[in-house]
Structure 1
């Protein structure tokens, strides 16, 4: 997850085989097992306890190269499934900016499938997130649906930008799939509808904490850090500060607002795994006492000192 590069990244990058560190020279791959576990663990726990072994599992999510690390660590929990089908949504121009990301996802999934000896089917959906429809996802009767939003849903404009509110419309479309679980990970920042000065102050505070946390984790000349700062953080900051209207796609909201949106769309919140909490806390202690992990309003909040940076939650 490129947006939270600071968290417990270095140890896992060094422990991975060299061929697993980078999928594409143009795509920054940041291995963040803490957030990945927060996303996947509720999914694995719920599905593996409620569904028969012959039922296939389908995962719908926006394409995220780094999200695949979650499956590398967690997919072994699903060994008994007959087949895992994964549909990845990514905008149709990203391959020019990030090195053909959907193809990179396909290759990574193929490697994971071979490693764990689990059949994995991949279905690429090269469209912008707000334009996704149920028909594009090739849903099959009897499948267990799982939906993951890894730092992507805030890219969909809401009612303050477009009258028909694609952000909430996206959630209603997902609700029509009747998924067993939805996992949401978002920046804990309030820049969506804030006026310029308030947005500037919020961005300064948020990314100051972000860069400070990175300083204690990665040297400034480390390739992974340079990639994250160049391809993700700098791009996001410029978009938040310099763009308005439809051109501003980085529209972060606090978890309380996301909870309201999900509740209005008909979702209910899952409790997060206590196992995930203990694992993440032990990992965070390896790096700095200033990393924080708290549960608030049913969500897991990861932060630096007194600033929350990332929220993670699970829904159904």
Structure 2
């Protein structure tokens, strides 16, 4: 393959995607810091009970269950770039409320959960818009590589972010570390606003939203391959949220790890994710995609 052909397929050679990639990387870094900051804030600073920790964790992920399908249908009717800008700015403001309430002496576990739930609702719309916006930035032949570039930056953030977050918490505090997360969201919004690539108008549709959602869900859960894959993914996410909640309590309260040490624990998970990503193609080629998923999830359960 010639150099020109490789450049044509490399999405980072496109200015619009390059700006979007930088914006996404900033967002991934902010998310990695917030993960450890929220755990330390709720468990160590606010002294939440085990049940309250679980409630806060549920508040972060419940929006994906409650409004995930509705958000996807609405985003199809909206401008994706505008949705990403507004969503990131609103999420930044919601996260910033937490350290402000802390400085005013009014922060509680329940207020923290409420702010995180609202920020999670924004996150659902952001995630839906991201999936729809990427094909507007790169040609179809570059979509796989563009997703790979985003996945690589996310993995790097997951690897380095928790350790950096632990150091930041040591230098500042858990509530103030969330200011960095808010700043990252603002930076993401500003970078996306710089993209000048024309965006095609939303797809006009006469189908009622609820009917469209029902048709999409029906297609997935009647599909011979997609249905079991979707069901197993639901179970995996549910179990993983339980495991991560218990891990935070066990590491910070049971073992008494410092924020830096806890950050290193999460960094180890990021390193594992990087190794898995590098080995994924070879494993799929050797065992097949389905068998790779089965073996990987079995090994995940064993390690937990």
Q: TM-score range by the shorter chain?
A: under 0.3
Name the one with the larger strand percent. 1
Name the one with the larger helix percent. 2
TM-score of the aligned structures, taking structure 1 as reference length: 0.22
